[in-house]
Structure 1
């Protein structure tokens, strides 16, 4: 490549990156997963658009798998262990047995309705049986859901990529007849067990090293943590185990240990995750030829309906029934099973393996992801309200972020008082935060003020609170309690639990009257 060609490639790459960032902003405003617009950018730049020809499925598979590893490392780093630890059992069953049930139901439907042979039907069932956390949470950020619902969907999405990848690899190398069930089960168990062990071991090594070694610059800590996640992914792959589960667990362990500069690490990981998503989806958009898609519309709609109305509900019901999950939450979890990056990447595996009809599968999967994300994505919030999983008049929960103050053993908490919060009108002295937590600064209407004990909090105020690590949880609980029930929260039996209980005498879900608006 000559120097002018390099400059041209960098110019095109930078323009595509900025266009994708703009698309992410647009997707957030209209309530759609950004993956759809990233795919659209790739299609527009591709051979039927601006003319960039990309048809290397093997390169797409390699880059896509690497991008998935980075996305899952970031997912593990930003996942709260306290939110998912009590949900590991149901999430694990959903991510393993649930995937198996979904594969069988989808494959049976594709075989009977579309006349696919069993190898292609099983391949298609395995490809589309993985849910995508990034797609789900892109449209759930503003929906006040119980933490057990979001935690279960998050944990399932982090764990179910590995079994589906294993099944796709098995079916891609199989003959026309279904492979031996014992071989499949043994392969899945080996890959999951060895991948999990390697991910946990490498994470513990990383935690021990970063706690004992003082690096010369803050920016090196995020690089080191992501580096350990990549090592876990590669080590598991070298052992013919699941690199996906290894990288996710490595990120989960390191993200929930007390490592230096956790806030910087999280910001870096989120940026790297966004870059991986943009690269992945734009590349997959380039890989697809739009003029070949119309012939796959009927099959994509049929398989999508089988998955949405039969395979996903049956798998959720079969897996969650023993855990006594309320039927409303089961129904929502079933509807929230969005598909995203993983199915399209997995669709490249049979193409690379030379499976007959694999290109048709790629087009079917691409259209299925696009069409059913458009259907499910915007409808998640209304479906949650319809099922009673959340209330339309419920004030948005406080979203608290933390930045460590390593020298003091404390953390800087940052929250914004949302509309409808009962924190409005409360004096700071009435909060009674646990000592030594204190509100140090308020940002109001673009200006800052140092509060006094009698300063009244208002909607839209951004609060900066310093709390020790030992009192952070109690501080967040008190803020949540007052945000829900006002200054007399404890009198009403509200103690700021992550999942709010309905107010006594207010089981209908009606919001309490907000306090009068006043400024001081």
Structure 2
């Protein structure tokens, strides 16, 4: 029992240290997940001396933690964001992982003396981006970038783990069996299709099951989030046992459940936030404890070289090839390439060669660990500066909102929200609360009073309102603080504005011809932008038409485009290399080159004709 208490004491202290380190990360902009990993390293064999070498337990704990993180990632992904970025993100999650693994494998063959299959295995281990790292930096790190780019990165990080996991397991089995290249056959392809197919099917069915059970569940509201988490893990484990990808299934189930109305939604979200934080802390601490830093110097130079090759060559090439058919600017493609963070998933997969008793199995683990450290140091610390340098930071539409959702019992058609009146907020400046909102209570200086007797609202008042769920974001504007004004905002939204109700044909006449198809010429500018954006426009969305860029400046309460900005300036490329040019730009460049050749030929013919007349 004394040993048991000591173990609990040590584990608790490590978790508390990791939690307190978040204060340091938020203050200095350090990658928080790197701090979790470093705490595990400092407490391990070469640090405080905690002995932990059970690879099997570490893999189980890491897999469960990853399942929790992926479910929460899917739960927080709006279906519109998934639709917006599904095609490019899935291309990155499949083809991108294969290309990254192959390129990294070639570099590993040269730097580590591996065989091609061993190099491909190491490439598969580090090929996927880390969902925990990407979601943390984008959602919590205060990086406000365009929805299209953000959604692409989030969906990619949530869906590329199954591909990397399948490749790693298949190659470990292949190397362990000694079959070599003869083991690469249609059976592996069939197994891959089975895992992905069952993952999607069971994920959808599992999401439906979660919504159905929770919606008809009559129990204490504190138990509802536990039911949701337990059902998510049930989907994960059942799919894996049935031969499918449990990680893909739990992510798909999260997307389905998160986009359906369920009772106690606020409680579920708060519980999942806490569980996701705990899962991240445990996963990174355990993997840090498992490492032996004294073994790193022996392979440090080739491992760091491989990490830099992954960051600056393999990942950018894979991203460029996958996004080539899609309309991403050079800057957007460059940013997607930069946010290729490696994290706990790569370290977790590097345990598989050890469990499979492969030759040089510890080398896989140590190289992957160093690659993750370099990735978190180089990329994790520079994501926000890189987004700002590439001009992808979206100016805030409004300032901070202090809002709390209060759960109501049963399936009701209203929500109860609590807003704290912020300094310089519109409601404090005298703007009226809409009629469809039903303010019921004001708490001022610790005293509660009915809204109609509270008089003019004051700063720090708590206001409780009953509203229809879909209107909450409209109230956010009323209670938000004043948005910070950046000198670069005017550049972001274009030099001048145009009416969204003007005919799109005017643009073709002024800046064309050839910008629009015949069908598009009959649309208004707002309709044209929605059409080019897949049917839905978001704040700060951009549409390129030849040399001009149309920008969504503002939307009304029904998501109709209210104001459009126009920029005539050609953005500087993300790099002097043409690697991030998309197919659209390539075709435009070819057309421009051919047009100039034709114009030059016509000038030559005209000059020769005039010369002949003068001679005559």
Pairing partner for 2:539 from 478, 499, 502? 499
What is the distance in 2 between the residues matched to 1:438 and 1:219? 27
What is the distance in 1 between the residues matched to 2:386 and 2:447? 39
Which residue is equivalent to 1:77? Answer: 75
Which residue is equivalent to 1:153? Answer: 153
What SS does the aligned partner of 1:356 have?
Answer: coil
Which residue is equivalent to 2:557? Answer: none
Which residue is equivalent to 1:293? Answer: 296
Tell me by how many angstroms 1:439 deviates: 9.1
What is the distance in 1 between the residues matched to 2:443 and 2:151? 31
Q: Does residue 144 of the first structure (1) align with residue 147 of the second (2)?
A: no
Q: Does residue 259 of the first structure (1) align with residue 262 of the second (2)?
A: yes
Tell me by how many angstroms 1:310 deviates: 1.5
Pairing partner for 2:92 from 91, 94, 98? 94
Pairing partner for 1:315 from 318, 336, 342? 318
Tell me by how many angstroms 1:261 deviates: 0.5
Task: Tell me if the contact between 1:428 and 1:456 (Cα under 8 Å) persists in the aligned partners.
Answer: no
Which residue is equivalent to 2:196? Answer: 192
Tell me by how many angstroms 1:171 deviates: 0.9
Which residue is equivalent to 1:517? Answer: none
Which residue is equivalent to 1:222? Answer: 225
Which residue is equivalent to 1:514? Answer: none
TM-score (norm 1): 0.85
Tell me by how many angstroms 1:389 deviates: 0.8
What is the distance in 1 between the residues matched to 2:537 and 2:442? 26
Task: Tell me if the contact between 2:338 and 2:379 (Cα under 8 Å) persists in the aligned partners.
Answer: yes
Query: CA 1:185–1:387 in 2, change beyond 3 Å: closer, same or farther?
Result: farther
Work out which of the two has the higher radius of gyration on C-alpha atoms and give 1 or 2. Answer: 2
Which residue is equivalent to 1:169? Answer: 169
Query: CA 1:474–1:462 in 2, change beyond 3 Å: closer, same or farther?
Result: same
What is the distance in 1 between the residues matched to 2:202 and 2:209? 11
- List structure 1 segments (4+ residues) > 3 angstroms apart after TM superposition: 175-179, 181-185, 391-408, 412-419, 421-426, 437-444, 446-458, 460-466, 472-485, 491-498, 502-509
Pairing partner for 1:271 from 252, 256, 274? 274
Which residue is equivalent to 2:23? Answer: 25
Unaligned runs of 5+ in 1: 486-490, 510-520
What SS does the aligned partner of 2:214 have?
Answer: helix
What is the distance in 2 between the residues matched to 1:328 and 1:174? 40
What is the distance in 1 between the residues matched to 2:190 and 2:92? 18
Task: Tell me if the contact between 2:425 and 2:479 (Cα under 8 Å) persists in the aligned partners.
Answer: no
TM-score (norm 2): 0.72
Task: Tell me if the contact between 2:263 and 2:409 (Cα under 8 Å) persists in the aligned partners.
Answer: yes
Which residue is equivalent to 2:66? Answer: 68
Which residue is equivalent to 2:133? Answer: 135
**Larger deviation, residues 344-353 vs 82-91:** 82-91
Q: Map residues 438-457 of structure 1 onto 2, 5 A cutoff.
A: 441=442, 455=456
Query: CA 1:372–1:8 in 2, change beyond 3 Å: closer, same or farther?
Result: same
Q: Does residue 471 of the first structure (1) align with residue 471 of the second (2)?
A: yes
Which residue is equivalent to 2:436? Answer: 435
**Superimposed CA distance per residue, residues 265-304 of structure 1 (whole angstroms, 9 cap, x where no aligned partner):** 1111111112111111111111111111112211221111
Task: Tell me if the contact between 1:415 and 1:463 (Cα under 8 Å) persists in the aligned partners.
Answer: yes
What is the distance in 2 between the residues matched to 1:368 and 1:88? 28
**Larger deviation, residues 129-138 vs 275-284:** 129-138
Which residue is equivalent to 2:40? Answer: 42
Pairs aligned (count): 496
Tell me by how many angstroms 1:403 deviates: 4.3
Tell me by how many angstroms 1:395 deviates: 6.7
Query: CA 1:104–1:260 in 2, change beyond 3 Å: closer, same or farther?
Result: same
What is the distance in 1 between the residues matched to 2:303 and 2:29? 23
Which residue is equivalent to 2:393? Answer: 390
Tell me by how many angstroms 1:434 deviates: 6.6
What is the distance in 2 between the residues matched to 1:370 and 1:461? 46
Which residue is equivalent to 1:103? Answer: 101
Query: CA 1:58–1:470 in 2, change beyond 3 Å: closer, same or farther?
Result: closer
Query: CA 1:374–1:484 in 2, change beyond 3 Å: closer, same or farther?
Result: closer
Which residue is equivalent to 1:363? Answer: 366
Which residue is equivalent to 1:350? Answer: 353
Task: Tell me if the contact between 2:287 and 2:348 (Cα under 8 Å) persists in the aligned partners.
Answer: yes
Unaligned runs of 5+ in 2: 486-496, 501-525, 527-535, 541-551, 554-562, 570-616
What is the distance in 2 between the residues matched to 1:104 and 1:229? 33
What SS does the aligned partner of 1:322 have?
Answer: coil
What SS does the aligned partner of 2:415 have?
Answer: strand
Which residue is equivalent to 1:211? Answer: 215
Which residue is equivalent to 2:378? Answer: 375
What is the distance in 2 between the residues matched to 1:400 and 1:152? 28
Query: CA 1:505–1:344 in 2, change beyond 3 Å: closer, same or farther?
Result: closer
What is the distance in 1 between the residues matched to 2:408 and 2:384? 37
- Looking at both structures, which has the greater relative contact order when contacts are Cα pairs under 8 Å and sequence separation is at least 6? 1
RMSD: 3.5
Q: Does residue 341 of the first structure (1) align with residue 344 of the second (2)?
A: yes
Tell me by how many angstroms 1:86 deviates: 2.3
Task: Tell me if the contact between 1:31 and 1:139 (Cα under 8 Å) persists in the aligned partners.
Answer: no
**Superimposed CA distance per residue, residues 343-382 of structure 1 (whole angstroms, 9 cap, x where no aligned partner):** 0100001110011112011111111111221111121111
Query: CA 1:484–1:370 in 2, change beyond 3 Å: closer, same or farther?
Result: closer
What is the distance in 2 between the residues matched to 1:457 and 1:320? 50
